[in-house]
Structure 1
Amino acid sequence: MKSSINFHELSKLSADQRQALLTRVEGDLSAFEEKVKPILAAVRDEGDMALARFAMQFDKASVQADALAATEADFAQAEKTLDPQVKAAMEFAAANIRSFHQHQKPEESWMKEILPGSFGGERWSAIPSVACYVPRGKGAFPSVALMTSIPAKVAGVEKVIIVTPPGPDGKIDDATLVAARMAGVDAVYKAGGAQAIAAVAYGTASIPKVSKVVGPGSPWVAAAKRLVSHLLDVGSPAGPSEVIVLADDSVSGELAALDLLVESEHGPDSSGYLVTWSKRVADEAMAALPKYLALMSEQRAGFARAVLSGPIGGIVLARDEAEAIAFCNDYAPEHLEVLAEEPDQYLPKLKHAGEILLGKYTPTTLGNYVIGPDHVLPTSGWAKTASALSVFDFMKRTSIAHVKQHGYPALAKHAHALAKYEGFDAHANAVSDLREKLLKS
């Protein structure tokens, strides 16, 4: 059967061809940065007026500059009109997300005796404020509202706000408003794209300047975050969705095809690979994909086809397990789903991924919505050094030390030697006999 879906045999690729499969669309944001700069400047200089203007320009939404914040009436209407089944699903997800992050939260402080009379430790405390960016370009995403704001509240952040694009009707998505209430968010604002990032970086009459912004977004949002990173913490990169489905010979290729489409339907800038060393699995998946694509809406099927027939998508057939694992580790995907009867055997070998979902009963869908671990994950290969969003992103560690009298002499001797070697006179004097005399007086 002919198919437009890419089929790559790793053993037949050159080094450059293999590297091309690892390259993300968001690698170079320079073109977006140039387009974003005037948007940032306008919000910095004009505040809410610029936000209202950009809402009309980019979101085709009529928004008043003095009515950017969701009102009590907006929240009440959202509660009234939201489908009860959707609300119940959100409550289920919220409970699991809250439980997971409560387990994840570290003890408030610890102190250990490093040497006799010398104590060192840490204290964890929440950051003062955060903005959670909830995108809306290709749909509405209340799950993002839950996944970003609940960990912030569990961490103890005093001020948590949501910024999200208004719809064509000038309103905020109902489910996002309900999610905000479930999470205990302090305020929700009608602002999206680069202009929303500018608003929380500079502050406007309506939207407060915050200490940090989290959440996924378009390349415009990613570029804006990069340009304001000197003003606030912009967190780990969270760009277009990406997945690797790693399958061995113990599973059905049809199952692998079903799961490959999950992240591929996000948008044409996403990436998705089925990686296997089983020719049978690869062939079954290739044959099944048209059937599953036919069950999707025209828009979502179009996105998935664009991904799987594009430069960073399709089926990747490895020579053996080692070659498949090496490709996964080099790619460092946002989502890594392991389809196997015994998936645990591969876990020690998989070094880099935003999340690893093990087994036939753990599709990415469950991870995205209801299991509990966060679905805001590092993309573009950043999983090699960055982690999933967590309570730790909303907390900071303060080092604490306390040296008692009997522990001081041994420490002072060695500190004095190092300070003298590095040429810091005051450092050395502070642990010299000058201090001994003062302490005895």
Structure 2
Amino acid sequence: MKLYNLAALTEQEYRNLLRRSETDITEHFPLAMEVIKRVREEGDKAVLDYTLRFDGVSLEEKGLQVTEKEIEKAYEELDNLTGDTLQYAAANIRKFHQQQLPTEMWVKEIDDGLLAGEKVTPISDVCLYVPRGKGSFPSVMLMLGIPAVISGVPRIVVCTPPAEDGGIDTATLAAAHIVGIREIYRIGGMQAIAAVAFGTETIPRCRKVIGPGNAYVNAAKRLLYGVLDVGLPAGPSEAIILADKLADPHLVSLDLLIEAEHGPDSASLLVTHSEELAQKVTRLIPELIQKLPLEKRRFVEKVFNNYGGIVLTAKLEESIRFVNDYAPEHLEILTSDPFSLLPRIKNAGEILLGPFTPVTLCNFLLGPNAILPTGSFAKTYSGVSVHDFLKRSSFGYVTPEGFARVKKEAIHFAEVEGFWAHAMAVRERAALFSY
């Protein structure tokens, strides 16, 4: 397990640590451009061809769209424990996101006779991208679908990659049933992003696509930016545990494994000014790794050899500075008084406080959204929320008296910027109505 002494790092070593597994997606641009061009020109045929080529799945028999019967069957066949768990998680996620809903409309008299306000409207159609990758992700369906439904989006489309037999993961379909989503397409990858960007004979064009994906998906999103809204950047999973000498080394070690098991390109770091804690965690991690299945062990070992490990600082203030510079997707604070540090954390997708709030809970069922910005984008982006599915329009109304009051300033401002038609519209309006 790597140990980084922060004070001893060169500038380049520090930058490399901050970069984590930052993938240069531009290497995938040529293939993504080919896929986008063919899907735009050939529609369903290209989508089917690429699904066979990239996923090894023929959809000629099943078709691109999941049937209502398949969705209902998945929900009915779900075992009781999984069904109850999904329902409980959905209830909590729903409660949290309901609190985010803004006022539908507000108006304020900015000055006498000058009224201005905003109205909020849901986006007309949105595609939720639910990956399949290394496993089943019904949690992503809940995290994307629930805020979309709460926001009132009229048309919600889901794209998710098929299994080898062309079917869709049962738990993911059941989660869609719980959320109330019925329009699902069994496609993923670059071809899915291109399909919703332009529309095909079967798949509708959408104004926005949102959801995590691999480097190929992100390459297609980057190239299609401007054709459709591609949402927040969500790449490989990452987490920091910020801990002091009072943290339980066993809990710290357990929680370091959470993000590390996502895949070899994940990042999982302990940041601490306690050398004693660092040493204890270093000894514990190898023991805990052995308790994982072989595939997960391999992931974790690669993470701790590449983008994970322990960052040892001189003091708590230095640890906090590093956290804000790194801007992690998940931040877990295991200190004597975690709430006291909350105001000092400026950059993190989510902040989990105390020993009973592991990432596991927030990933699945605490309520906050688990689709979060990665790769330092927590410095400028927030996690998925109802706001991702809404747009604001400002409006204004000026009374005759208000117009008379501000006409002089309006004309002058227009002339300062050289907009003579702007000025004329006010000047002649004032003359026409004797104001």
> Is the TM value for this pair above 0.5?
yes
Over the aligned positions, Cα root-mean-square deviation in angstroms equals: 1.4
Among 374, 378, 381, the alignment partner of 2:376 is: 381
Among 239, 250, 254, the alignment partner of 1:243 is: 239
The alpha-carbon deviation at position 26 of structure 1 amounts to 3.2
Equivalences for residues 294-313 of structure 1 within 5 A: 294-310=290-306, 312-313=307-308
Does 2:398 match 1:437? no
The alpha-carbon deviation at position 52 of structure 1 amounts to 1.9
Does 2:115 match 1:116? no
For structure 2, which runs of at least 5 residues remain unmatched after alignment?
Answer: none
CA–CA distance in 2 between the matches of 1:412 and 1:127?
36
CA–CA distance in 2 between the matches of 1:439 and 1:101?
49
Change (3 A) 1:425 1:99: same
CA–CA distance in 2 between the matches of 1:118 and 1:300?
62
CA–CA distance in 2 between the matches of 1:35 and 1:241?
25
Among 76, 81, 87, the alignment partner of 1:80 is: 76
> Which amino acid is 1:100 matched to?
F
Please, what TM-score do these two structures have when normalized by structure 1?
A: 0.96
Large movers: runs of 4+ above 6 Å = none
CA–CA distance in 2 between the matches of 1:408 and 1:28?
54
Among 403, 406, 410, the alignment partner of 1:408 is: 403
Does 2:209 match 1:224? no
DSSP 3-state at the match of 1:99: helix
Corresponding residue of 2:287 = 291
CA–CA distance in 2 between the matches of 1:197 and 1:23?
26
Equivalences for residues 126-145 of structure 1 within 5 A: 126-145=122-141
Does 2:318 match 1:323? yes
Corresponding residue of 1:153 = 149
The alpha-carbon deviation at position 440 of structure 1 amounts to 3.8
Among 177, 181, 192, the alignment partner of 2:177 is: 181
The alpha-carbon deviation at position 427 of structure 1 amounts to 0.6
DSSP 3-state at the match of 1:185: coil
Contact (CA 8 Å) 1:341, 1:360: kept in 2 or not?
Answer: no
Among 112, 121, 126, the alignment partner of 1:125 is: 121
Contact (CA 8 Å) 1:253, 1:280: kept in 2 or not?
Answer: no
DSSP 3-state at the match of 1:309: helix
CA–CA distance in 1 between the matches of 2:309 and 2:54?
32
Contact (CA 8 Å) 1:159, 1:186: kept in 2 or not?
Answer: no
Corresponding residue of 1:371 = 366
> Which amino acid is 1:110 matched to?
W
DSSP 3-state at the match of 1:246: strand
CA–CA distance in 2 between the matches of 1:27 and 1:350?
26
* Deviation sequence 1:328-384 (CA, Å, 0-9, x none): 111111111111231011111111011111111111011100011111111111110
Contact (CA 8 Å) 1:26, 1:219: kept in 2 or not?
Answer: no
The alpha-carbon deviation at position 65 of structure 1 amounts to 7.3
* Deviation sequence 1:385-433 (CA, Å, 0-9, x none): 111100000000000111112222332222211110111011111222x
Among 47, 51, 59, the alignment partner of 2:43 is: 47
Q: Which moved more, 1:353-362 or 1:51-60?
A: 51-60
DSSP 3-state at the match of 2:36: helix
Q: Which moved more, 1:401-410 or 1:369-378?
A: 401-410
CA–CA distance in 1 between the matches of 2:430 and 2:397?
18
Does 2:20 match 1:15? no
Change (3 A) 1:66 1:166: closer
CA–CA distance in 2 between the matches of 1:26 and 1:219?
10
Contact (CA 8 Å) 1:416, 1:427: kept in 2 or not?
Answer: yes
Corresponding residue of 1:270 = 266
Q: Which moved more, 1:7-16 or 1:399-408?
A: 399-408
Among 311, 314, 329, the alignment partner of 1:334 is: 329
The alpha-carbon deviation at position 189 of structure 1 amounts to 0.6
DSSP 3-state at the match of 1:144: helix
Among 420, 424, 427, the alignment partner of 1:425 is: 420
Corresponding residue of 2:158 = 162
CA–CA distance in 1 between the matches of 2:432 and 2:283?
83
Among 30, 33, 58, the alignment partner of 2:29 is: 33
> Which amino acid is 2:320 matched to?
I
> Which amino acid is 1:380 matched to?
G
CA–CA distance in 2 between the matches of 1:292 and 1:36?
40
> Which amino acid is 2:418 matched to?
G
Contact (CA 8 Å) 2:238, 2:330: kept in 1 or not?
Answer: yes
> Which amino acid is 1:360 matched to?
P
The alpha-carbon deviation at position 66 of structure 1 amounts to 7.0
The alpha-carbon deviation at position 112 of structure 1 amounts to 0.9
> Which amino acid is 1:10 matched to?
L
CA–CA distance in 1 between the matches of 2:398 and 2:78?
58
Corresponding residue of 1:203 = 199
DSSP 3-state at the match of 1:76: helix
Among 306, 314, 329, the alignment partner of 2:309 is: 314
The alpha-carbon deviation at position 288 of structure 1 amounts to 1.1
CA–CA distance in 1 between the matches of 2:62 and 2:136?
24
DSSP 3-state at the match of 1:273: strand
Corresponding residue of 1:349 = 344
Please, what TM-score do these two structures have when normalized by structure 2?
A: 0.97
Q: How many residues align?
A: 435
Contact (CA 8 Å) 1:252, 1:284: kept in 2 or not?
Answer: no
